């Protein structure tokens, strides 16, 4: 899993690169909780672009982080869901609880937010990635 945090937006992005099963979910969970507590983000995005496999362990993992982030005043989003991942999330009702967003350049989230940012250009250009 790769982690990126954008200080200005208080945006934390987890790009999951492993297959999500019971075994790997434990690691992802531990790592994600650590980063969420460390950065206290407003928005947490799980990027599934590189996920080649997920079983029901992914449901618990995402809902657990949703609760964790909410407790610290943040919200969780899902991005780049593949067909098989979406099928599992849809079946469990996760998609009713957690919004799906589009990641444009890693730095941007929804279309509305992109528009906001374009309006607020200075802020946008100053944005730097926090090295981890």
Partner 1 sequence: MINENEMKLEFISKSNNEAFARITVAAFVASLDPTIEEISDIKTAVSEAVTNAIVHGYENTLGMICVKCKIKDREVTVEISDNGKGIENIEMAKQPLYTSKPNLERSGMGFTIMESFMDSLKVESVLGVGTKITMKKTIKEQIKEEQVSLEEALRG
User: Applying CB under 8 A, does 92 fall inside the site for partner 1?
Assistant: yes
Question: Scanning the structure block, which residue is given the tokens 């650590």?
Answer: 34
Give, in order, the Cα–Cα distances in Å from 23 to each of 14, 33, 48, 57, 88. 18, 16, 17, 9, 18
Q: Which of residues 12-41 bind partner 1 (CB under 8 A)?
A: 19, 21-23, 26, 29
Q: Which is nearer to partner 1, 73 or 93 (CB)?
A: 93
Residues with Cβ within 8 Å of 49's Cβ and at least 6 positions away in sequence, in order, are: 15, 79, 80, 82
Residues with Cβ within 8 Å of 121's Cβ and at least 6 positions away in sequence, in order, are: none
Q: How many residues bind partner 1 (CB under 8 A)?
A: 21
User: Applying CB under 8 A, does 114 fall inside the site for partner 1?
Assistant: no
Binder to partner 1 among 32, 61, 69, 98 (CB under 8 A)?
Answer: 61
Which residues in this chain contact partner 1 in the complex, by CB under 8 A?
19, 21-23, 26, 29, 53-57, 59-61, 63-64, 83-84, 88, 91-92
């Amino acid at each position: 899993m790769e982690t990126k945090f954008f200080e200005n937006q208080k945006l934390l992005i987890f790009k999951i690169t492993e297959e999500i099963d019971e075994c790997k979910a434990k690691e992802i969970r531990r790592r994600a909780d650590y980063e969420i507590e460390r950065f206290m983000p407003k928005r947490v995005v799980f990027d599934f672009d590189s996920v080649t496999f997920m079983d029901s362990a992914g449901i618990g993992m995402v809902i657990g982080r949703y609760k964790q982030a909410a407790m610290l005043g943040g919200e969780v989003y899902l991005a780049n869901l593949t067909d098989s991942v979406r099928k599992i999330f849809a079946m469990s009702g996760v998609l009713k609880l957690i919004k799906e967003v589009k990641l444009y350049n890693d730095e941007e989230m929804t279309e509305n937010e992109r528009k906001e940012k374009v309006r607020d250009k200075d802020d946008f250009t100053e944005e730097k990635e926090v090295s981890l």
